Amino acid sequence: MRVIHLKMCYTNEKGVEVKSMSYKEHVKKYLEYCEFRKELDWNTLKAYRIDLRQFFEYAQEDIPEKNIIENYITQLHKTYKQKTIKRKIASIKAYYNYLEECEIINENPFRKIKVKFKESSILPRIIPREEIERLLNCMYTYEAIGSEKHYKYWLRDVAVVETLFATGARVYEISNIKADCINLNTGLIKIMGKGSKERYIQIASADILDILKKYYAHNLEAIQKSGFFFVNSRGNRYTEQSIRLMLKKYTMLAGIERNITPHMFRHSFATYLIEEGVDVSCVQQILGHSSIKTTQIYIHIASKKQAEILREMHPRNRMNIRRVA
């Protein structure tokens, strides 16, 4: 078995041999590299940190070798769903690529590890149109209830849910919208997506834009102080978890039994646009998908609606055509 050699020491410019860093120090340097050189977003950095910590807790070595990595991958398959496994392996592979590029290791074990596997296709869950309507109507009934403070937070919650459905943006993208990234006159929003990729989405509804303007006017001081457009009761960023809990509260108030999550608005947004005949490449651009294959999954969902329409509305249904005996 070939050994991956970790450079345990190096010679500095004065010719003095210096001991190398531990894996914790290497990981710290790597995450700094990802944050400042690659400019990865906070969520990606968080995932890398968790994935690498779990890997090293399993391996109990500074630079685990090929057999340990393969055993860990096997353990992942026993524990997690394939989407999670794929992400965790990608995190570890990216770290080893970094070690190789920095000449910390002289051989990258991932060059000899097969990590490809068939990922099961799970259709995204969408919210039925009538439940979206029911949820939003329920939220609007709470407009006149309570104090000015209540009104401020009610405006925020309605604005968040309306923006989720109006843009199809991810919940962390909504949570991280900066105050200077939304133009309330034109309705244009700059979204920071995965890998810090920018895209622009238009709020086309005058009603939604009116809600956003009212929310902004009633929360101006907190918004300007925090720098974020959506703020919580303490004047800080309205976090992803807070949005999930808020949505759960209103779902219960609306008497909807379905567990509605923020991401389901993204799935629903894409599916209903395709059902209305919007080109899939246009939907891809709005959603910020790097590959059109990711967007095409919504075509399969929309095809169910298509089958329903053809079954009920096809003109042949109203024709007097003889059947096979």
Chain segment 122-146, per-residue pLDDT in tens: 678 899 999 999 999 999 998 867 6
Q: Are residues 134 and 89 in the same domain?
A: no
For residue 225, the SS3 value is: helix
Query: Could you give the residue ranges of the DSSP H alpha helices within 219-256?
Result: 220-226, 240-253
| Number of domains observed in the structure of the chain | 2
Top-confidence range, 19-28, 35-44, 70-79:
70-79
Q: Are residues 136 and 103 in the same domain?
A: no
Q: Is 150 among the residues known to form the active site?
A: no
The answer to whether position 85 is within a domain reads yes
Mark whether 289 is an active-site residue.
yes
> Known catalytic residue: 197?
no
pLDDT digits (tens, 9 = 90+) for 42-101: 888 999 999 999 999 999 988 899 999 999 999 999 999 888 999 999 999 999 999 999
**Residue 37 domain boundaries:** 9-112
Q: How far apart are CA 138 and CA 149, in angstroms?
A: 19
Catalytic residue selected from 49, 178, 194, 244: 194
Q: Are 170 and 227 in the same domain?
A: yes
**Catalytic residue status for 199:** no
Per DSSP, 317 falls in state: G
Q: Judge whether 153 lies within some domain.
A: yes
- 298 is an active site residue: yes
**What value does the mean pLDDT of the chain take?**
86
From 223, 241, 266, the end of a domain falls on 266
Q: At what angle do helices 148-167 and 240-253 cross, to 10 degrees?
A: 100
User: What is the end-to-end Cα distance of the chain in Å, rounded?
Assistant: 73
The pLDDT, as a whole number, for residue 10 is: 46
Which pLDDT value is given to residue 173? 94
In a domain, 293, yes or no: no
**Mean pLDDT value of segment 157-174:** 95
Paired tokens of 267: 């799935």
Whether 231 contacts 89, CB under 8 Å: no
Phi–psi pair at 91, nearest 5 degrees:
-65, -45
**Measuring CA to CA, how many Å separate 231 from each of 35, 167, 175, 217, 245?**
24, 19, 9, 13, 15
pLDDT of residue 6: 46
**With 70 as the cut, is the pLDDT of residue 1 above it?**
no
Domain containing residue 208: CATH number = 1.10.443.10
Active-site residue (options: 88, 237, 266, 267) = 266
| pLDDT(189) > 80 | yes
53 inside domain? yes
Is 29 annotated in the active site?
no
Reported as a pLDDT band with limits 50, 70 and 90, residue 18 is: very low
